[in-house]
Amino acid sequence: MLILEPPFSDEKFYRVKNIEDIQNSPNNSTLIFHYCDATLEVFNFCKQNDLPYGVIVENIKEMIFVSNLKAKYIFTDILQKASDFQKIAESYLLDTKVVYFIDSFDEIEKVARLGIDAVKLKESL
């Protein structure tokens, strides 16, 4: 399980909505979006320019779309969805990692038992 928080990870995350936000983002950051059908072109821009990004998704359709557009991460704060997404990611051998937002590190054991790829503190994003 990846823990996407210091001191376990040096990865920097930056919330964005559009290409202008991307251009103003810090270098070497992983871009984070909320899913919206209108942003599919922005996700494709990230894919074409090899920009690492993750998307907060609500359902399996959104997960499949962003995985096909080479998202590095998909995020959710609902444990059952994270579990469902993880099963699909494993079935299709997706490169996209499933990340569950946790409230505290006390949740790691519960999340690890479900085989979720990674965790990130909800408050840090």
Split into its structural domains, the chain has a count of: 1
Token digits for 97? 């990692």
Residues of the chain where predicted confidence (pLDDT) is lower than 70: none
Range of the domain at 14: 2-124
Starting at the edge strand found earlier in the chain, the sheet holding 53-56 runs: 2-3, 118-121, 97-102, 73-76, 53-56, 29-34, 12-15
Residue 125, pLDDT score: 73
Q: Provide the CATH number for the domain around residue 41.
A: 3.20.20.70
Q: Say if CB 82 and CB 76 are below 8 A apart.
A: yes
Residue 24, pLDDT score: 94
DSSP tag of 51: -
d(CA 55, CA 6) in angstroms, rounded, equals 21
Residue 124, pLDDT score: 79
Look-up of token digits 């990674």: 118
Strand-pair partners of 97: 73
Residue 113, pLDDT score: 97
User: Within its chain, how far is the Cα of 64 from the centroid?
Assistant: 13
Q: Is the pTM above the cut of 0.85?
A: yes
